[in-house]
Amino acid sequence: MTSVTERKIFASDEDFIICNISEADRSDYVELHRQLNGEASLYLNPISKDMMWEQLLDNADSVFSLFTRKGDYCGSIELQQPNSNTPEIGIDLLEEKRNQGIAPKAVRLFARRVYEIRKVDYFLIRISSNNHHSKHVFEKMGAVKIGEEETDFSRFVEKFRKTAEEDGQDLEKFRHLFEESDDEAVSCYSLDPNTFLREV
């Protein structure tokens, strides 16, 4: 098995190594998505798991694996809309790697490297409005809240409610389906390059 240091490294510092995702990361990435989405993850579904993985590898230039210097897998970093002047950075960590200060350090390292390759106006970071810890962490890092948006799921729920009401349906019998994500929104933050460039 190839060690992390033998792979093509996208970015690294004294704490972390970031590499483009590869076949070697499959079991770690699937476990990450099991932790995030439960057993319903499409990466665990026998029908879709191989197709989902192949699609992911096809986008390996925008999906990255995060490791400690010792080679321990921490999670995944994605660069969405990479050709935009405001590309979005997303990060997901394994449960045992959360709340250790990893996310802001990794995002800073990743954003610096992306900015070296191509200048951007700012990086967009979306955080669930209910995730107060992450919002606090990124605000401390210098990210500035620029707005809020509904999630796709909350828009679907609202449309479903309207349709059900128009049809005279009793909404109470559907409430259990929507409780977890009820009224959830996403807070949008901008991370200005100056906030991480000056910390070199």
Mean pLDDT calculated for residue range 105-110:
95
The two three-digit tokens of residue 26, written as one number: 């499959």
Q: Does residue 156 share a domain with residue 110?
A: no
Does the pTM exceed 0.85? Answer: no
List the single range of 32-41, 152-161, 183-192 with lowest mean pLDDT.
Answer: 152-161
> What local confidence, expressed as pLDDT, does residue 173 receive?
60
Closest CA to 91 of 4, 189, 182: 189
Based on the domain organization, do 81 and 140 belong to the same domain?
no
Residue pLDDT, tens place only, 115-170: 999 999 999 999 888 888 888 888 988 999 999 876 555 556 666 666 766 777 76
Of 59, 91, 119, the last residue of a domain is: 119
Final residue of a structural domain among 101, 119, 137: 119
Same domain for 58 and 83, yes or no, is: yes
Rounded Cα gap, residues 22 and 61, in angstroms: 10
What φ, ψ does residue 46 adopt, rounded to 5°?
-55, -30
**Is 79 in the same domain as 161?**
no
| Domain count within the chain | 2
Domain encompassing residue 198: 122-200
Instruction: Give me the mean pLDDT over the 22-42 stretch.
Output: 87
Residue labelled with tokens 């660069």: 79
Q: What is the pLDDT of residues 58-102, one digit of tens each?
A: 988 899 999 999 999 999 999 999 999 999 999 999 999 998 999
Last residue of a domain, one of 119, 134, 150: 119
156 and 77 belong to one structural domain: no
User: What are the structure tokens assigned to 46, written together?
Assistant: 């026998």
Q: Tell me if residue 126 falls in helix, strand or coil.
A: strand
The one-letter amino acid at 94: L
Same structural domain, 78 and 91 = yes
Specify the pLDDT at position 200.
45
Question: What is the C-alpha separation between 194 and 9, in angstroms, rounded?
Answer: 24
